[in-house]
Amino acid sequence: MTATVNTKRMDLHVSPLGRVEGDLDLRVTVEDGVVTQAWTEAGMFRGFEMILKGKDPQAGLIVTPRICGICGGSHLYKSAFALDVAWRTELPPNALLVRNIAQACETLQSVPRWFYALFAIDLTNRRYAKAKGYDEAVRRFAPLVGESYERGVTLSAKPVEIYAIFGGQWPHSSFMIPGGVMCGPTLSDVTRSIAILEEFRHNWLESRFLGCSVDRWLEIKTWEDVLAWVDENESQHNSDLGFFLRFGLEIGLDRFGAGCGNYLAMGTYLHHEKYNRPTIEGRNAALIQRSGIYAGGKHYEFDQARVREDHTFSFYQGSGLLHPFEGRTEPIDPADAKRQGKYTWAKAPRYDVDGLGSVPLEVGPLARQVVAGKPGEEWQDVDPLFSDIIAKKGPSVLVRVLARLHEEAKLYKNVREWLGELDLHDRFYIKPVEHEFGRGFGATEAARGALADWIVLENGKIANYQVVTPTAWNIGPRDSRNVNGPMEQAYLGTTIHDPGDPVELGHVARSFDSCLVCTVHAYDSKTGKEIGVYRIGETG
């Protein structure tokens, strides 16, 4: 970490910010102890779109799951739907159910792994040593040795065992294909999947994490319900979720990290009887976990045609806003780009909202749960909890984390239901016509947020392919109007208590599921002399 200091102003450069995916850097200006400017910098070039250009249309099914080792199944899910739309396929109900089961299992795995291995270990930082709950935080969440850490990380592997039963492997499976899925599960596969899911519920979700039944947690509809639930009985009070809420409020995680306050969800989990002929136009109405925009205090329908990517401050040729169907990936030398004021490889996704123009939108669990607050059909995810919390408390690190934890109980219920709806005597695949020309859009909600592909086919080859990830939505840079990206905005106003160990920066990044340095080196940027070494997350 670089720290450049004068009397009241300090510039911090944290590199890398990531604990798992360490290509994200952060620069902030701190004045009188408060962050006044922020720049998020993606330090590595991806270029998967360039790899796919000119390839066979099905190349995306192989290449895009390799974009991420954590949510490769989510990449496969939206890539398959993009080609389904372009080829105008027919999908049997079983194929939609299996895709949903696999996608949800990957997210079920991601929640405890992210919470214990990435987020919660920062609660053991010495910054909180004087807090009443500190010793308890260390006992539960200390990396590798914490009682809850070990169990949570270990049992997080269970849901993706179900993914592997249907997909043959996890990660990097390519079993979702245009027209369906490449599997023919047996009754034994289904009963084994149910047994694994129930083990996950019994040994972690209810016994350790919630301290109550899934159904009891899902009765909660307001912030007052949340607080009452914590103190309802000893089991819930002492559960990992109960403790996180108590300790998070004690150390003030509800008082910073708000962000832009506008949200986007592209939705996921297509109903097995309502999306058998995939089209862009028919997608919104078939979603179980719905799409939508919440901006300026209003709900809007999601329309992929309103998505743009701004690359004014990104290491690419030119500037301006382009829809992904017309998107270009033309990298330039970062040294030359920096002379033009550019500072990151990430583009800046924006969405054209009526009356607001192209604005940055936060994606992820909080966005999904805010969108869930609008009225919907009986079979869709309708949930008023986070509309209530946002109205009463506003967004923050604590609220963003709670939204992700809240989804775990819902997804368990979804997967259990879908496993019971499979018809083992029916088809899982319908061979499609491989059209030489077409355009397709496929999207999902990875654990981190909205993830989408746009594909253009010409003469039986990929003419253009654009992937817009949740990380790009959240950590994207300023745009042509010089408006900060969502995570950059979330840093503004954050108080840094110790510039030598700015754990608050990590809390914000990890609430979006980004990462913080585990070892921080601070040195004088002019002389290069190291002035201190700090390790974040150690105990004792």
Q: What is the length of the chain? A: 540
Q: What angle do CA 400, 402, 408 make, to 5 degrees?
A: 120
Residue 463 CA to residue 112 CA, distance in Å, equals 39
SS3 annotation, 182-209:
CCCCCHHHHHHHHHHHHHHHHHHHHHHH
pLDDT digits (tens, 9 = 90+) for 161-181: 999 999 999 988 999 999 999
Residue 318 CA to residue 428 CA, distance in Å, equals 46
**The pTM is what?**
0.92
* In the block, residue with structure tokens 């585990």: 518
Residue 345 CA to residue 2 CA, distance in Å, equals 21
Is 230 marked as binding a ligand? no
**Nearest Cα to Cα of residue 163 among 120, 113, 216, 105:** 105
Tell me the CB-side half-sphere exposure of residue 149, using CA atoms within 13 A. 19
DSSP 8-state assignment for residue 5 = E
- Average pLDDT over all residues of the chain: 92
* In the block, residue with structure tokens 């909080």: 366
pLDDT digits (tens, 9 = 90+) for 282-341: 999 999 999 999 999 999 999 999 999 999 999 999 888 899 999 888 899 999 999 999
Residue 485 CA to residue 415 CA, distance in Å, equals 34
| 410 pLDDT higher than 50 | yes
CB of 236 closer than 8 Å to CB of 230: yes
Residue 354 CA to residue 303 CA, distance in Å, equals 12
SS3 annotation, 112-137:
HHHHHHHHHHHHHCHHHCCCCCHHHH
Is 521 marked as binding a ligand? yes
DSSP 8-state assignment for residue 451 = E
Tokens of 95: 């194929």
Residue 191 CA to residue 186 CA, distance in Å, equals 9
- Domain 9-43+58-169+187-519 annotated CATH 1.10.645.10: yes
Helix axes 385-392, 397-421, angle to 10 degrees: 180
Is 260 marked as binding a ligand? no
* Beta bridge partner(s), residue 152: none
Is 323 marked as binding a ligand? no
Helix, coil or strand: residue 535: strand
pLDDT score at 4:
61
159 cis-preceded (ω within 30 degrees of 0): no
N- to C-terminal Cα separation, the chain: 23
Is 353 marked as binding a ligand? no
Residue 531 CA to residue 518 CA, distance in Å, equals 17
Distance of CA 36 to the CA centre of its chain: 26
Is 68 marked as binding a ligand? yes
* Per-residue pLDDT band at 530 (split at 50, 70, 90): very low
CB of 453 closer than 8 Å to CB of 441: yes
pLDDT digits (tens, 9 = 90+) for 428-438: 999 999 999 99
Number of Cβ within a 10 Å radius of residue 168? 12
pLDDT digits (tens, 9 = 90+) for 194-244: 999 999 999 999 999 999 999 999 999 999 999 999 999 999 999 999 999
| 19 pLDDT higher than 70 | no
| 515 pLDDT higher than 90 | no
